[in-house]
Amino acid sequence: MRRTTVLRFALSAGLLVSAATLGLGQATAAEAPLAAGTSRAPASSALISAMQHDLGLTRQQATTRLAQETAARGVERTARRAAGASYGGSWFDAGSGRLVVAVTGAAARDAVEATGARVTLVEHSERQLDAAMARIDALDAPAGVSSWHVDPKANSVVVDVVSAHKDDNDVRTFVTRARASGPVVVRQTGRAPSTFAAGTVGGDPYYTGNVRCSIGFSVYGGFVTAGHCGQPGAGVRGWDGSYIGNFQGSSFPDNDYAWVNVGSGWWTVPVVLGWGTVSDRLVRGSAEAPVGASICRSGSTSHWHCGNVLAKNETVNYSQGAVRQMTKTSVCAEPGDSGGSFISGDQAQGVTSGGWGNCSSGGQTWYQPVNEILNRYGLTLHTT
């Protein structure tokens, strides 16, 4: 088997490759990103095709939307500054192709519109909504409450309850206390969320104990992944069973993030796997995509799927405990995808935590934002 073929197989198995296993020297390691067949074009033909399939878009609509979302990411920070204390949140509106910014006062309208954003007037500022969210976070949530998050479009904190448990006494009590915390909207969902870890399956990306999870993003010195996949000090084995490193930090519940050091002949590359559905994606940064933007996920079980960002700063109530500051998406996932990459264009977004459903019937998936993980552990994202 030729060396480039071996490299391409190894990278498609999990972002990390072992020089010792493949018999490659240090000079060859630098060639790994290009040997993986990655494309430097941020909007490859395969990526457009994946968006057409998962989001129901035409080819032209997918191309246009990617360009619009890139522009919206650039506008969001400037618009937030222009709105000042009246800022009430923002989201990408796929219909108009523009970022929408909520403000509490008409005085800020002109300054925000000058940034290129569309403006809508609301009653509550983001600061007020975040304060209500913090008060709800302090409550003890029963299993019948799925999650809660600040929704800028609703200008409220949205509390999701599992339909089958909406009339349970403890759920009704929680909802009453939540409504006393500030502006709250209650919605129903059919399923409770769970994490996406899985038992060992031979030949997949990484293992710790009898759990299989997926690599998130390469950082200098290791990679980030989900906290529920392993405790600090736990050893990690790669797709070929050889030792990679150990969990250097891990938090779950409350958070769901971790990082693993890389050594013993392994190295990191700034690549997210397309699993043959799209070209492997080079990672160029971690600019945050707005609510409403398209987003794609890579994982070792269900591979590559796309959807939309549905909500940010959501608290997810797993059976093991609540996890805060999560982002909700319409992307599907399955057991073993935990820890895998969420990416928007060429910008890293977060690591897969959990959700409900599967990639046959659909579902929703949450991720822990990558910038929070980098800041928590003082890590630097490996980019091109």
Q: Rounded CA gap, 269 and 337, in Å? A: 19
Closest CA to 128 of 74, 77, 184: 184
Active site residue 256: yes
Active site residue 54: no
Of the listed 54, 256, 280, 346, which one is catalytic? Answer: 256
Closest CA to 259 of 384, 383, 368: 368
Closest CA to 271 of 208, 343, 360: 343
CB within 8 Å of 209: residues ≥ 6 apart: 230, 234
Q: How far is CA 121 from CA 19, 112, 127, 128, 187, in A?
A: 57, 12, 15, 15, 23
Of the listed 250, 338, 341, 344, which one is catalytic? Answer: 338
Active site residue 53: no
Q: Rounded CA gap, 364 and 307, in Å? A: 9
Of the listed 228, 303, 305, 382, which one is catalytic? Answer: 228
Residue 367, Cβ neighbours under 10 Å: how many? Answer: 29
Closest CA to 369 of 345, 344, 333: 344
* Bond from prior residue into 253 cis (ω within 30 degrees of 0): yes
Q: Looking at the annotation, which residues are catalytic?
A: 228, 256, 338
